[in-house]
Amino acid sequence: MQFSKIANTRFSKIFLLVIGLIISTQIFWNISVRISPREFPEIWETAKFENLQFKIEYPREWLIRELPRGNHGDEEVFLSMGEEIRCLFCVRFGDIGPSVYVAHKSFELPSDVNVPLWGKERAEERSVNGVYEIEKTETIQKDGYRIIVRTYHIKNSLSNELESSADIYVIREEDAFIFSLVVEPKDYEEIYPIFERIALSFDSIR
């Protein structure tokens, strides 16, 4: 009986020591990740989507996955891509990694009016009280389609403060896409150029 108590005590001490080392390593890792700035990716991959007849480029180190429509509560989002976890055990004090979501919708006659309106409605759904303040809109004409780049502010549901966000609309003859950036406010400036490169790499393969 005495031996059993001593063994249990030693086991408890070893267990607490291991947990302490894990937590210390996690804290050190998170601090180092927060301090080290992101570098613009050098190596990019190409992803093709034959069913919707387009292709895009994305950073090699990012994860990309197709989403069955509707099983995540959104009938229009079919694709997500994001930075691999930059922290040990996926813990960053409640932080989330930057992500790009792509939504698709068919239109009888897509235009510079109804596609941005669709984007506005989607953005308002993410904002407290539907707050949506446009910052800048730019239109780019390409062969066979148009691109609208829009930056705006929405109200965060946790902090209740305005935060920067961005959508890039791709308008083709019969359908349209929205590339949406979802990122922590502190990471917006670093991630936006990567987001823009991804969306502007869109190319039809019809």
Q: How confident is the model at residue 97 (pLDDT cuts 50, 70, 90)?
A: confident
Tell me: pLDDT of 28 over 50: no
- Predicted confidence at residue 22, as pLDDT, reads 52
**pLDDT average, residue stretch 32-39:** 58
101-137 core/surface letters (b: 16 or more CB in 10 A; e: else): bbbbbeeeebeeeebbebbbebbeeebeeeebeeeee
| Euclidean distance between CA atoms 24 and 44, whole angstroms | 34
Beta bridge partners of 56: 47
- Residues 6+ positions from 14 with CB-CB distance below 8 Å: none
168 or 96, which is more confident = 168
- Residues 6+ positions from 44 with CB-CB distance below 8 Å: 57, 58, 59, 60, 197, 201
What class has domain 40-204? alpha beta
**pLDDT average, residue stretch 39-55:** 93
- Predicted confidence at residue 29, as pLDDT, reads 38
Per domain, the residue ranges of the chain are: 1-36, 40-204
- Predicted confidence at residue 92, as pLDDT, reads 42
**pLDDT average, residue stretch 150-155:** 95
Q: How confident is the model at residue 25 (pLDDT cuts 50, 70, 90)?
A: very low
**pLDDT average, residue stretch 62-84:** 80
